[in-house]
Every structure is written in C-alpha cells, then in structure tokens.
Amino acid sequence: MAAEKGADNKTTDVNHDVLKSTQTIIHEALERLGYPEEVYELLKEPLRMLTVKIPVKMDDGSTKVFTGYRAQHNDAVGPTKGGVRFHPDVTENEVKALSIWMTLKCGIVNLPYGGGKGGIICDPRKMSFRELENLSRGYVRAISQIVGPTKDIPAPDVFTNSQIMAWMMDEYSRIDEFNSPGFITGKPLVLGGSHGRESATAKGVTICIREAAKKRGIKLEGARVVIQGFGNAGSFLAKFMHDAGAKVIGISDAYGGLYDEEGLDIDYLLDRRDSFGTVTTLFKNTISNKELLELDCDILVPAAIENQITEENANNIKAKIVVEAANGPTTLEATEILTNRGILLVPDVLASSGGVTVSYFEWVQNNQGYYWTEEEVEEKLEKVLVNSFNTVYQTAQSRRVNMRLAAYMIGVRRVAEASRFRGWI
Ligand code: GLU
C-alpha cells in the first residue's frame, strides 16, 4: 500500500524555522486584514499540544518507548483535522507548524474543520508489520481522550497509509465500544474509506497545475515536468501528468533522482517503486535531489518534505511554475526570490488541499452511512479546487501579494471570524 507522500532527504533540523516562518506569514496576513494583535496571539501556536510516550513490544522481545505528538491548532470552526506522520525527524515544532497549515487548508477549501496534526518519531522502514501495528494502536490509546469523530480526526501523512488508518480505527472503535469509521480518514474502502482518497492529493495538485498553466499560457500537452518525491502525492501525480500528455523528465525519492529529457517511463517506475516510494536505488545513473530541483523544465513540483527550495538554490530554479505538493517545501526567503523572478508559485496550503478535501467527503459519507461513486467524489473535488485556486489567484492579483500570502489571508480569516463570534477574542 502506498505511503502518503514520501521522500525524505532532510539532513538538518530546520523545523524551528518552519514554525517561525509560518508565524511570520500569519502575522502579515492578519495585519493586512486589519485584525488586532490578540488574534495573532491566539493563532500563532496550537490551542492544545499533547506529547505522549508509547511503549511498543518489538519483535526481538525488547520494549522500545516511542515519542508521539498531537497538535490541535484551533477548533473554533469545527473539529480539528489532519494527518499523522511517522518519521525519524518529527519534532514538536514541525507538528505545530503542520497543524497551523491544516487550519489554513481547511479555511481555503472551506471545510467545517480546524487544523490538527500528529507525528511519531520512528522509522517505519526499519519496523516490521507487527511492530507498526503495535505502535499505531499504542498511539491511539495514548491520544484517545482528545480525539474522536466530533473532536479531532486523524488521517494519513508521510509514511502512514490506509493499513495504519485501519489499525487506528479498530483501536479507537474498541475503546469507544462502537464501530467508529468517522474517527479517522484515509481508510481502506471496505472499512468505510472513500473512493478517490488515495489519489486525492495528487488530483488536487493536478487541478492546480492545470489552472496555473492556463494563467501562464503553458500547454500541459508536451510540458516538461519535474517531480521531487515518489510517495503518495508524487507517484500519482507523475501518472496524472503523463496521462495529460505532459513529459515527466525528472522524478526523485529519498535516495536520488532520475532524469531523461525525452520523458521517463512512468508506468515502469510506478510498477517498481516500493511502498515507501523508493525506486531510484534500482538505477545506476542517478542525479542528486539538488540537481533535480535545478533541471530546466516548465513545471516543478516539490512533493517530498520541508525546506527543499531555499535561498541557496532559488536563483537556480528554471521552472516557470512551481506547485507545492509537499507541506512547506519552499522557505520564506525562497518564496520572495521566486516571486521576484516572475515564477508563479502555487503554495502548499492550496495545492495540497485535495487530500483533506476528500478526507472530509469520507467523513461525511461515514456520518450519513451512504457512499458515493468515484465520479461523484471527483466532480466535487474538481469544483472545490478550481474555485479555491481562482479565489486565491484573484486575491493575489487584487491585493498585489504573492499567492502564498493571499492563501494565508483567505485561510486565516475564517478561523479568526469564528473565534470572534464565539467570544474568544
Ligand atoms: N496529511 C494530509 C495533509 O497534509 C491530509 C490530511 C487529512 O486528510 O486530514 O493535508
């Protein structure tokens, strides 16, 4: 089963910057919208942050204690919502930033949720199926008091997938003594998952690429596309781009990249990738992730992890459009450089919101016990994403700001309003 998103070539701990830069943009967005400072004070950090210790019996008979987090950024609009990431580099500040981004995503696509996020410091690539099951169940037991279908609804993220969601749902249902499919999204179809959820993030990115290409007069047919990351988002996206007639000339995973100016054989690569999105280890002539990002192309999609486009390489990016499928792949400084160079940057909080949009559809289907066809899901997702893209694009134009700041302004307004109506500020 595919893990959500995928590549990891993070080498340094730069997560503090991720939270800090998010706070900087939130502050600017609120200021431009005319909100007083106390609104920023409320929104700059999650309302709630739980740290848990999870003891897991390992296959060798030892017990290993893992550290996990669940951040609930703001629940003024509705229950909090967001994925759980299993990764060795997870930190408290990263999870906090990720929960704020979920608030923004839900605001931009107008879902009745606030943002939440979870993470466990672990390396699932080095764990057995049974150890992963024990860890997933242990995490749910540890956070069970603050989550639930009307409180906080987890989902997949980096290196977690529908099997992990199934174990978590089962554990929660045992604690709750009810079958509770609405506790978590991204489940297998047979347990109340939704058609189209696995490919939803990539579908949303595809829609954003199409709309951005229209704005820049670029035809998708024959366009040269480079994708960093071959996990859930990157791999489905490569397929969708290939099907749309674009030439995917570069892809990468955590270990390196592949490049062919004539276009890569995407079907072959998809067939050979493992469940963590690794495929380049099968090849000899690989390029580095750094080289991949700087390839001459029309559309660049960072679909891996944070801080990949920085002030060090932003001047070397040759793409005309950058669409962020990963969370936080471009730093604040790099956003400025790309914008000044006339490159259209479609921000993560808009471009990667297809995943949570279909998660919402899944939750609605669970709540009503009535399930939709794949066509219904796709049609609804298309409407939501096209609408959101255009709102953000037009706001950027009319306010003369880049699309990231425009997206933050739209995303943060709703939670600020809801907090005000509730009398919190
Ligand atoms: N983890 C995904 C994201 O970062 C999806 C979250 C969800 O479906 O709730 O947007």
Which structural domain range is residue 97 located in? 45-180
**10 annotated ligand binder:** no
Closest CA to 153 of 415, 325, 356: 356
Average pLDDT over residues 199-208: 98
The reported pLDDT for the residue numbered 422 is 98
Residues 123 and 166 grouped into a single domain: yes
Q: How far apart are CA 134 and CA 393, in angstroms?
A: 45
The whole-chain average pLDDT of the chain stands at 95
Residues 139 and 207 grouped into a single domain: no
Average pLDDT over residues 351-356: 98
The pLDDT confidence band at residue 17, using thresholds 50, 70 and 90, is confident
Residues 137 and 98 grouped into a single domain: yes
Residues 166 and 88 grouped into a single domain: yes
Residue 5 placed within a domain: no
Average pLDDT over residues 295-301: 98
Residues 171 and 94 grouped into a single domain: yes
Residue 304 DSSP symbol: S
**Residue at token pair 């977690």:** 160
Residues 205 and 176 grouped into a single domain: no
Neighbouring CB atoms inside 10 A of 55's CB total 12
**Which of 293, 325, 342 lies at the terminal end of a domain, its last residue?**
342
Ligand 1 atom at shortest distance from the alpha carbon of 82: 9
Residues 211 and 322 grouped into a single domain: yes
Residue 412 placed within a domain: no
**Angle at CA 346, nearest 5°, toward 402 and 386?**
110
Helix (H, G, I), strand (E, B) or coil at 15: helix
pLDDT higher than threshold 70 for residue 6: no
Residues 52 and 123 grouped into a single domain: yes
| pTM score of the predicted model | 0.95
Residues 112 and 171 grouped into a single domain: yes
User: In the Cβ-directed half-sphere of 69, how many Cα atoms lie within 13 Å?
Assistant: 27
Average pLDDT over residues 283-290: 96
Q: Which residues have a catalytic role annotated?
A: 117
Cβ < 6 A, ligand 1 pocket:
4, 81-83, 105, 155-157, 185, 327, 352, 355-356, 359
Residue 53 placed within a domain: yes
**Angle at CA 255, nearest 5°, toward 167 and 95?**
45
Residue 358 tokens read as: 């279909």
**Protein residue with least CA distance to atom 7, ligand 1:** 356
**Which of 300, 325, 342 lies at the terminal end of a domain, its last residue?**
342
Q: How far apart are CA 123 and CA 15, in angstroms?
A: 18
Query: How many domains, in total, are found in the chain?
Result: 2
The pLDDT confidence band at residue 31, using thresholds 50, 70 and 90, is very high
Residue 17 placed within a domain: no
Residues 142 and 212 grouped into a single domain: no
What is the CATH classification number for the domain harbouring 281? 3.40.50.720
Sign of CA dihedral 359, 363, 369, 370: negative
pLDDT higher than threshold 60 for residue 232: yes
Q: How far apart are CA 222 and CA 166, in angstroms?
A: 40
pLDDT higher than threshold 80 for residue 244: yes
Over residues 65-101, the pLDDT tens digits come to 999 999 999 999 999 999 999 999 999 999 999 999 9
Q: How far apart are CA 317 and CA 294, in angstroms?
A: 5
Ligand 1 atom at shortest distance from the alpha carbon of 359: 8
**Which of 313, 342, 371 lies at the terminal end of a domain, its last residue?**
342
CB distance 216 to 241 below 8 Å: no
Residues 204 and 337 grouped into a single domain: yes
Sign of CA dihedral 308, 314, 319, 322: positive
Residues 214 and 172 grouped into a single domain: no
Q: How far apart are CA 373 and CA 393, in angstroms?
A: 30
What is the CATH classification number for the domain harbouring 74? 3.40.50.10860
C-alpha distances out from residue 416 to 88, 219, 413, Å: 34, 39, 5
